[in-house]
Amino acid sequence: MALNQFGAVMTFAIELENQLTAFYEQAAAPGGAHADIFKQRAEDAIKRRKRIEQSRRSDVTEITLEPIEGLDEAAYQLDLSRHDSVAVNQIERIVQQFYTDAAPKINVRESRKVLERCLKEHASLMPLPE
């Protein structure tokens, strides 16, 4: 499905962070490898989701209805079935690619900044050793 408007992009970003929250909470099983890292990543995903939701609510009055081209949610689907290092690193690459592609296409400056901040946070995560 094409992400061709502001609301669709922001809703997809919110859902992406929701998926990451659930994924990292499940991966943070006590005694599991990288449990502390996964717990922190789940908490960070919750914070990002809240920022995106707030931006979507507050910036909706500033939207100029310009179509967005070149974003298709199929390109950013996550395989959340595995919690090994290779899978986690691949998930983070896909999420970073979404924010890299989506942020410049948002014509509301504050919302674009929120997505850019999400990208920066994801990009700052150290890849897990494979």
| pLDDT per residue as tens digits for the range 29-74 | 887 788 999 999 999 999 999 999 999 888 665 566 678 999 999 9
Query: Structurally, how many domains does the chain consist of?
Result: 1
Residue 2 has pLDDT above 90, yes or no: no
Question: What is the structure's pLDDT at 6?
Answer: 86
Q: Retrieve residue 126's tokens.
A: 């150290």
Is residue 99 situated within a structural domain? yes
CATH number at residue 91: 1.20.1260
Q: Is residue 113 part of a domain?
A: yes
Domain that holds residue 115: 6-59+69-123
Residue 61 pLDDT: 56
Contacts of 97-106 with C-beta under 8 Å, sequence gap 24+, read 98/12, 98/13, 98/16, 99/13, 101/70, 101/71, 102/3, 102/9, 102/12, 102/13, 102/71, 105/9, 105/68, 105/69, 105/70, 105/71, 106/6, 106/9, 106/68
pLDDT in tens, 70-122: 999 999 999 999 999 999 999 999 999 999 999 999 988 899 999 999 999 99
Per-residue model confidence (pLDDT) at position 66 = 76
Torsion, CA 34, CA 43, CA 4, CA 60, rounded to 10: -170
